[in-house]
Amino acid sequence: MSSDLWSFSLGTYARPGVEAACLTLQSAGVNVCLLLCGLWLGKRGIACNEQRLQQLRNVAEPWDTDVVRPLRALRLQWKVIATGDAELNALREQVKALELEAERHLLLRLERSAQSWPQNEATDLSAWLEGVAANAAHPDRDALHQLRVAATGT
């Protein structure tokens, strides 16, 4: 695959409206790393199907549950009290960096998982986004649309 998933994710996340859309979807239970991976795969013309979605979920869910979410929970738990405590705020920033590094590792795992899938089969980003968001309680359609628009501009 020509461009790595991490670089694609950083570039996409930095686009206007993407961070807000991702956080909205994350609060609805959607895994943002899976969303970004789905966009990346869709941009490469990799066809979305249930087997591939499940393979990606099998990679993402344990890492997200065991590594990313506990770091995020600690970072959020310290958010308010760290504002008045410089030492705790410094530790919180370290946890934040560790959380980002854990997400980078997850994206690398997802990229490796999809490495052998043939490209240029399809160009429907919607199938990937809808597939990734399917397990969420109430995925925000506007946020999904914002990601689709951002991905077509990258």
CB atoms within 10 A of CB 93: 13
- What is the pLDDT confidence band of residue 135, given thresholds at 50, 70 and 90? confident
Tens of pLDDT along 67-97?
A: 999 999 999 999 999 999 999 999 999 999 9
CB atoms within 10 A of CB 134: 12
Would you call 50 helix, strand, or coil by DSSP?
helix
Are 38 and 150 in contact by the 8 Å Cβ rule? The answer is: no
Residue 2, pLDDT above cutoff 60:
no
Percent pLDDT > 90 in the chain is: 75
**Enclosing H/E stretch for 109:** helix 86-114
- What is the pLDDT confidence band of residue 140, given thresholds at 50, 70 and 90? confident
Cα–Cα distance for residue pair 36/130, rounded to 1 Å: 12
Which pLDDT does position 125 carry in this prediction? 84
Residue 50, pLDDT above cutoff 60:
yes
